Structure formats: C-alpha cells, structure tokens
Amino acid sequence: MLLSSLTLCLVALSQDPRPDARLALGPLTLEVYVSRTAHVFHLVDQLSRWDDACHGQYREHLSLSAGDEAALARYAAVRAKRRWGQGLEQTFYVAAGVEQAAKAGEKAKQVTRAELDVILPVLERFAARADELLESKRGVLEHAFDGLDRTRLTKAADDLARFTGVRKLVVPVFPLASPAPGGGGMDGGRLRWELSDERVSSSVLLHECTHGFFQQREEELRALVERTPGLSMTLLGEGFAYAMAPGLYSDGEGDNLARNVGQDLAQQPSWKEGSYEWQRAYGLALRPLLAEALQAHTELEAFLPRARDAFLVLRELLVSRENRGPPKLAIAGPAGALVRERLLDSKFHLWISWFDHTVEHYAKYLPELGPGDLLVLTLALDDSQSIPAAFAHLSPLAPDELQRRLRAGDSIEEERAEPGRFRVVLLAAPTRKALDELARRSALVHD
C-alpha cells in the first residue's frame, strides 16, 4: 500500500498496530506509521532544546509564551536524564494514542510514572499546535514516498546487508511534519523523518537506515571504540552513515558531503571533538574506503581496522588545527594604539595587530583569529573610518542600532563571545576624544 492512497487522520491509531504502508527494498523493509502521538511528542522534544541535536526549525516557526517555556523546561529536565533511545522514543513513536502509549511504556519500564506526571501535561499543552502542523502538511506526508528511487535504495540496502552481515532489517519509520526543511534520527529502533514540502531527501532516509544496519553489530563496533582513543559509538556510527549518505548516495548531482566539510573548515576555526563537524569529516575520510569495500564485497569485521586507521589519521589532523600558536589580538580603528598599550603585557603580547577599517585589512588578519583570540573594534562618529559592510556582522551591534546610539550621544561598550569563535569587543563614541577615554578605561579590554 502506498502512502499516496491513504487518507490520513489526526486521530491516533489505538487498536490497529499494522503500518500505514510497507516498502520492500530488498533486505530492508520500511514500515511506515503516520502517528499523531509521534507528532505531539516530536514537537515537544525538539522545542525543549534538551540536547544540542534538537532541530531548531520548530522554535523558529512557533511563538512561545513564558508559560510554554516553563513547561518545556520541566520536560527538558526529565528528558536530559532519559536520553536518546533510553525509553521515550520506544514509548511515544508508536501508532497508539498518547495515554495508551504512556501506559504501555510504563508497563515496559521504558518510562516511570513520575516522569509521565511531568511529560503528559506538556504534551497536552502542545497537542493542538502539533495537530495544526500535521494537518498543514497532510499532502506532503501522503506523497512522501512516491518519488523515492526504489531501485537505488534497494541497491544501497543490498550493499549494507552484505557488508554488515545483517540479512534482513525491518525499520519502523515515522514521517513527521516540519515547518521547514529538517533532518532525521534513528534512536530506540525508530526512524524519524522530518518533511516540510515535496522536496523529499532520500539521502536523509538512507543515512538513518544505515544506522539501523550498524546498530545490529553493536558488539563489534563497541570493541573497536574501546581500543581507539577519542572514538565514540556516536562518532563511529555517524562516520559510516555520512560516508554512505550523502557520501556515496547524495541527493542531486552535487557532492553534498564534501561541500559541507569545506564549509565547516571555512566557517569554524575550531571544532569541538565529536561534533557534527568531526562526524562529517570522518564520513568524508571513510567514503573512498567504504566504496572500495562495498565493491569488493568486503565484510565489516575485515574493514574495521581500516575505519580505525582512518579515524586516527583524521584525529591527528584535526587536533593539529588547535595548535595555532600564541593567543592573538587584532585591533581595528582609530583608538588602536591605546588598546594595544593596555594589553602589551597580556597573554596577547606575542601577536598584536592594529589596522584601519578596510576590507583588505579585515581579509588579511581575521582568518588568523580563532578561539581564545580577541578582536577589538574602535569607532568614533566624528572619524571617517567605519566597519566595512562585508564585515558588519562581526559587530555586537547592528549598524543601524550603532549609528542611532552614537547620534544620541551614547558611548558604547559591547562584546560578543560565542563558543568556538574569537571574542569581539566594540568600543564606540560620538567623538574621538570620548573614544580615547573609553579605550583607556573599558573593563572589556582584558585578556
């Protein structure tokens, strides 16, 4: 049965556990469930931001009151203790209604009554909004599987089955309405797939199915992780999944994986170990090795030493990016000499650059800056210099707000400090005299 032939309803399936559709892809079978309970839970789970992996598009498209935020905070406190795949996915990504799902989850010891006493009122609070979102995407969900290249997906499934030794895999799939393009996930044996419009990403679907195959070989993967410094189960699993899709199976003609890693390198001077940037880079490193292994019909056990070597080489390279030499201080604008004088004996004493507000100078010095470094922007309304438009985003204040406050006679001290980035301090005043005074006394000028 195809989803395009279904008439979806907002009432959760409570008696019939049969899937709404089955897709046979060789050794892989997708059992598709369109579930109101899954939608309500997913909306709350993502809105709560209990983990960095929560998807932000739901918050971006909903207006939340103070009461909503308080409810989400209560939910997040419970969720943070029962993390991915530890019971809540198994409880709520189901075809049953919310109350029935909760009772079944409690009986199976996937969730406690005390936890449900917190969770269920929050789900009820957001249920109407989840219903509205599901209704708005009804057509998208009905036709989500129509355009999939089943031949291509079957070949990928055949390769994965042969490689992992998993002869047959059945994956419950929960397509989920999303207000904007999203992603997916595979936890607790459930695959969730966020859909916003007819542009369906088979790469996301295959990426998550790859997790399903490798999760059946947890014992072998965990043994590799335990003898490999810096490697985690998450990083290993994501490396294989990214190597497969979008690595070997990308949507469209472009090389999405290589492009994303290139953007990561250009935009993030420092990567947190194990982060999404590490995962994508590991996937890129594994891709040619995995392609060769699949073509040669190599099995997982024989390949794991190569996966380990690829990670160790990559880790050496990525860790070396952090060895960037002494902390750096860059100062732009007319009060640079005063700022430099204050910090000559600071941790920045080996690398200090002072330059005018020109595109050429910004392009020369900013690529040198990374975590732990400092950029000081100095401006005076009666001075001809200003931050180049191409770099205005660096300022802690938007250009219009900066000009408005300077014209109002304000002296401005602002800073922006983001994880993984250099710190930016803005010192600005209506006159050069006032700016010099600010540069001499500002508490933000420190190391």
Domain ranges of the chain: 3-148+167-187, 217-321, 329-441
Amino acid letter for position 140: V
CA distance 233 to 213: 14
Measured in residues, the chain has a length of 447
Burial of 224 (0-12, 13-18, 19+ CB in 10 A): middle
- Name the nearest CA neighbour of 268 among 410, 354, 370: 370
Terminal Cα-to-Cα distance of the chain (whole angstroms): 64
**Three-state secondary-structure class, residue 213:** helix
What tens-digit pLDDT sequence spans the chain (447 residues)?
333 333 333 333 334 478 889 999 999 999 999 999 999 999 999 999 999 899 999 999 999 999 999 999 999 999 999 999 999 999 999 999 999 999 999 999 999 999 999 999 999 999 999 999 999 998 899 888 988 999 999 999 999 999 999 999 999 999 999 999 999 999 999 999 999 998 888 999 999 999 999 999 999 999 999 999 999 999 999 999 999 999 999 988 889 999 999 888 877 766 878 889 999 999 999 999 999 999 999 999 999 999 999 999 999 988 877 666 788 999 999 999 999 999 999 988 889 999 999 999 999 998 888 878 999 999 999 999 999 998 999 999 999 999 999 999 999 999 988 766 789 999 999 999 999 999 999 999 998
Other Cβ atoms closer than 10 A to 146: 11
Q: How far is CA 38 from CA 44, 190, 323, 333, in A?
A: 10, 11, 45, 54
Q: Which CATH architecture is the domain 329-441 placed in?
A: 2-Layer Sandwich (3.30)
Strands 352-355 vs 329-332: parallel, antiparallel or unpaired: parallel
- Name the nearest CA neighbour of 362 among 330, 314, 406: 330
- Name the nearest CA neighbour of 179 among 56, 281, 279, 284: 56
Strands 329-332 vs 374-380: parallel, antiparallel or unpaired: parallel
What's the pLDDT score for residue 6? 34
CA distance 174 to 181: 16
For residue range 292-311, what is the model confidence (pLDDT) as tens digits? 999 999 999 999 999 999 99
CA distance 279 to 273: 9
What's the pLDDT score for residue 95? 94
Q: Sheet with 28-32: list strands edge to edge.
A: 21-25, 28-32, 169-177, 190-195, 184-187
CA distance 30 to 32: 6
Can you name the residues that pair with 408 across neighbouring β-strands? none
Pair 339, 378: CB distance under 8 Å: yes
Can you name the residues that pair with 30 across neighbouring β-strands? 23, 171
**Three-state secondary-structure class, residue 178:** coil
pTM (2 d.p.): 0.71
Q: Can you tell me which residue has the tokens 């090389």? A: 255
